[in-house]
Chain A
Amino acid sequence: MTDRFPTPDKRFALEMLLEEYARLLDDDRLEDWVELFDEACVYEIVSRENREQDLPLSLMLCDNKDMLADRISSLRQANIYNIHTDRHILSVPRCTAAKTGEYDICCAYALYQSDQEGRSWLFSVGRYEHRIVEKNGRLLFRHTLVVVDTGAVPTLLAVPI
């Protein structure tokens, strides 16, 4: 079966969505980032090691939007973690049309972190596999799978990738 590709206009819209996803995370606008997701979304971060062995354990798993919102409010109100700035570098995405009103986006990422003293380090490398749905003219993340090559997490993973 050959892949079907979205129209250039749609592809542009998907790329903009992907850019917004990364920018909201990098700008610490986590509550706005949650609003990019569909109510029935799944967000998960899985190590490549587990993925390749078909082991189901995630590093982070939110299987609806409420759970994703809870993760963010927990970070804001309860958790203690290193103060840092995230910076996502994304590869050129591959965008395909799945079925009517649904699209897939795959791209690689490199995620750098910087501390308050201006030191930066590579925190995580991996790839995204996004399933996007179109609802009432809006593109929303339905399923986001983050496959991390960096399975040995340096100290802790607080903010979603």
Chain B
Amino acid sequence: MDYEHKHNMSWAAQGGRIDGPAQGYGETQRGDMDIKLRDSSLLQYRKEYPDDQTLSILSIFPNAAFQQISNTLAVRQFRTSSTDEFEIVSTFFGYADEDATMTRHRLRQANLAGPAGLVSMEDGEAVELVHRASAGVTDEYAVVEFGGRGAIEDQESLITDVPVRGFWQHYCRLMGIAPGANA
């Protein structure tokens, strides 16, 4: 996170930081890493930068994200239209001077991201569930304990929403909303 915690970057690196197989998934049975693919080429990572990062989601306050999921590169714009609705515009890109096989690889790996993404489709559903649970509360408080309590600081695991608290804390600062106040 930056010093105001408004921007953040989630990342993972090959041979570097590794979250334990089921760590953080609790009893959801979704941390099971024993799934075999019939065509594993979808998950091959072709190293293209000097670092070892295979995942990097750079979230820029208030409405953009730059994404590297394996070899997919994309920009996401968040367009809010009402308290009940927003739209994500995804733009995937590659490099003009890369060879056709790399372009093909990126297009295939786009299966991981976007609205039908094997990695990202639950993001849409998760946000939908949280919104549905809190939308009914119109004149009281709806508390969603994103990332629990305590200090907002950099985290060791990707399975955390602490940076989301940082985002909203900054939003409240800008909007002049004191903690616990009626917005």
CB within 8 Å of A: which residues of B? 30, 32, 35, 37-39, 42, 87, 92, 103, 107-108, 110-111, 114-116, 118, 121-122, 124-126, 128
Contact = CB atoms under 8 A, between A and B. Distances in A.
A1 interface: no
B122 A79 contact: yes
A70 B39 contact: yes
B121 to A, nearest CB: 4
Interface residues of A, number: 29
Given A61-B108, A66-B39, A45 B116 contact: yes
Interface string A67-98: 10111011001111110000000000000000
Interface string A52-71: 00001111111110110111
Given A77-B35, A156-B124, 16 more contacts: A45-B116, A61-B108, A61-B110, A61-B111, A66-B37, A71-B111, A74-B118, A77-B32, A78-B35, A78-B118, A79-B121, A79-B122, A152-B87, A155-B115, A155-B125, A156-B121
Contacts, number: 73
A155 B42 contact: no
The 3 closest A-B pairs by CB, nearest first: A66-B38, A66-B39, A153-B115
Interface in A22-39: none
Contact of A81 (B87, B92, B110, B125): B125
A122 interface: no
A82 B38 contact: no
B42 A70 contact: yes
B42 A67 contact: yes
Contacts of B30: 78, 80
A79 B35 contact: no
11 contacts: A57-B110, A63-B108, A71-B118, A73-B35, A74-B118, A77-B32, A79-B122, A80-B30, A80-B122, A153-B116, A156-B116
Contacts of B87: 152
Nearest to B38: A66
